[in-house]
């Protein structure tokens, strides 16, 4: 039997939601992960340090007994965000990053930033105090094709912003294109990228071939095969600028399986099994720890986890539930379309 032991991983981009959904999904993360960066796109969003403090308390209260999971809180950047509040959040140790959603880019982002000029005072402060900006890197201009939105964002928003504020640390979250990978690699400093589990596994055919499959729809939407291959090469390279951010984003089935379904794929429960499979396919199991457990903490200036987990490769298939009952309703689990054999030993 093959096995691999790595430091306990972290998830550098996670949607936990709130209320019954939070209670229903958090155990799937806290079982395998020590920490996660928690996305602030609640309704209403987490915009102030006080909001983040209250949300953090709700997350801790929802944790299964005995789990030591640590939520790393983010603030949702708006055109009215107060730089002093952001700095206070960082100083107190509560806030790990600030999240930029271009208005309308994805689920619950209507309160996001329309005019980046308006956010410059906050961004300047963040550059000064060393607080990273996490970006959803897609333009929302109606004329721009949805498959081009990441590349156009890099050219028209991200690159000018980084030239203007070279000291600002930017995480390009859920990179989905070769353009994104190349851009991150070309940067001399202060730029890194997270990559999701599902974007390493599916390309856009998964969504559209043989019928429309809403459970493979997320934002940024999966791209062509050449992009998926670029993501796999980056994730399995050991390059410290790339790390795991699952973007696990639960929506109940009725909100996915309808005429205008929500974006988001639920991967918390089987991410480590999927990743071990992918890294083994790429003959890079020795790089899994860098991607899932080392590169993220180094980027965010946090210590690596001392605990270890062991993944074992079983002869039989490891069966995850097809759906999770959350209390808010059923959530479909990501199906990688291949049998999983790697399992986290518990």
Q: Which helix (H) or strand (E) holds 275?
A: helix 271-281
204 binds ligand NCD (CB under 6 A): no
| 15: contact with ligand NCD by CB under 6 A | yes
At 146 the three-state DSSP class reads helix
8 binds, among Zn ion, ligand NCD, none (CB under 5 to 8 A by kind): none
13 is in an annotated binding site: yes
Interaction with ligand NCD in 107-166: which residues (CB under 6 A)? 107, 136
Report d(CA 101, CA 133) in Å as an integer: 11
Could you give the CA distance from residue 135 to residue 112 in angstroms, rounded to a whole number? 11
Encoded tokens for 66 = 């005995």
15 marked as part of a ligand binding site:
yes
For 83-150, the DSSP string reads HHHHHHHHHTT-EEEEEE-BTTSSTT-TTSBS-GGGGHHHHHHHHHHTPPEEE------TTS-GGGHH
Question: How many CB atoms within 10 Å of residue 137?
Answer: 29
Q: Does 219 bind ligand NCD (CB under 6 A)?
A: yes
Q: How far is the CB of 248 from ligand NCD (least distance, A)?
A: 9
H-state helical runs in 31-104:
49-62, 83-91
> What's the token pair of residue 301?
């200036």
Per CB under 6 A, the list member of 41, 48, 177, 332 interacting with ligand NCD is 41
Q: Per CB under 6 A, does 223 bind ligand NCD?
A: no
Identified binder of ligand NCD from the candidate list 24, 71, 180, 264, rule CB under 6 A: 264
Residue 253: how many other CB atoms lie within 10 Å: 15
Residue 101 Cβ vs ligand NCD, minimum distance, rounded to whole Å: 8
First to last CA, the chain: 16
Pairing of strands 133-135, 95-100: parallel
247 is in an annotated binding site: yes
Minimum distance of ligand NCD from residue 119's CB (angstroms): 18
- Find the binder of ligand NCD among 202, 249, 285, 309 (CB under 6 A): 249
Active site residue: 28, 32, 247, 343, which one?
Answer: 247
Q: Is the CB of residue 193 less than 8 Å from the CB of residue 171?
A: yes
Instruction: Write down the least CB distance from residue 154 to Zn ion, Å.
Output: 18
Task: Name the site residues for Zn ion (rule: CB under 5 A).
Answer: 247
> Is 247 annotated as catalytic?
yes
Binds 285: which of ligand NCD, Zn ion, none (CB < 5-8 Å by kind): none
Asked whether residue 228 is marked as a ligand-binding residue, the answer is: no
Q: List, in order, residues 6 or more apart from 198 with CB less than 8 Å away.
A: 216, 218, 222, 247, 265, 267, 334
Residues serving a catalytic function are 247
Could you list the residues known to form a binding site for substrate, using ranges.
15-17, 41, 136, 219, 251, 263
Could you list the residues known to form a binding site, using ranges.
13, 15-17, 41, 99, 136, 174, 219, 247, 251, 263
Q: Which residues bind ligand NCD (CB under 6 A)?
A: 15, 41, 106-107, 136, 218-219, 247, 249, 263-264
């Amino acid at each position: 039997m093959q096995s691999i032991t790595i430091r306990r991983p972290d998830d550098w981009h996670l949607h936990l939601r709130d209320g019954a959904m939070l209670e229903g999904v958090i155990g799937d993360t806290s079982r395998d992960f020590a920490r996660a960066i928690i996305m602030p796109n609640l309704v209403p969003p987490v915009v102030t340090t006080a909001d983040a403090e209250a949300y953090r308390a709700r997350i801790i209260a929802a944790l299964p007994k005995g789990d030591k999971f640590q939520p790393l809180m983010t603030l949702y950047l708006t055109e009215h965000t107060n730089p002093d509040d952001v700095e206070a959040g960082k100083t107190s140790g509560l806030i790990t990053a600030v999240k930029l959603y271009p208005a309308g880019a994805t689920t619950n982002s209507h309160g996001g930033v329309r005019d980046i000029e308006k956010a410059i005072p906050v961004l300047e402060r963040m550059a000064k105090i060393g607080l990273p900006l996490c970006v959803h890197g897609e333009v929302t201009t109606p004329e721009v094709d949805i498959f081009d939105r990441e590349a156009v964002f890099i050219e028209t928003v991200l690159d000018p912003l980084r030239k203007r504020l070279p000291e600002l640390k930017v995480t390009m979250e859920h990179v989905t294109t070769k353009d994104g990978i190349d851009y991150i690699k070309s940067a001399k400093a202060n730029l890194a990228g997270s990559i999701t589990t599902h974007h390493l596994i599916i390309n856009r055919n998964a969504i559209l071939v043989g019928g429309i499959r809403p459970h493979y729809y997320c934002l940024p939407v999966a791209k062509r095969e050449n992009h998926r291959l670029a993501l796999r090469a980056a994730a399995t390279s050991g390059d410290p600028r790339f790390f795991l951010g699952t973007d696990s984003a639960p929506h109940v089935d009725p909100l996915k399986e309808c005429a205008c379904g929500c974006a988001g794929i639920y991967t918390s429960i089987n991410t480590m099994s999927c990743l071990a499979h992918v890294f083994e396919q790429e003959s890079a199991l020795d790089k899994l720890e860098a991607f899932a457990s080392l590169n993220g903490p180094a980027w965010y200036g946090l210590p690596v986890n001392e605990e270890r987990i062991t993944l074992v490769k079983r002869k039989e298939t490891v069966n995850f539930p097809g759906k999770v009952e959350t209390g808010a309703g059923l959530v479909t689990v990501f199906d990688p379309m291949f049998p999983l054999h790697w399992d986290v030993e518990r």
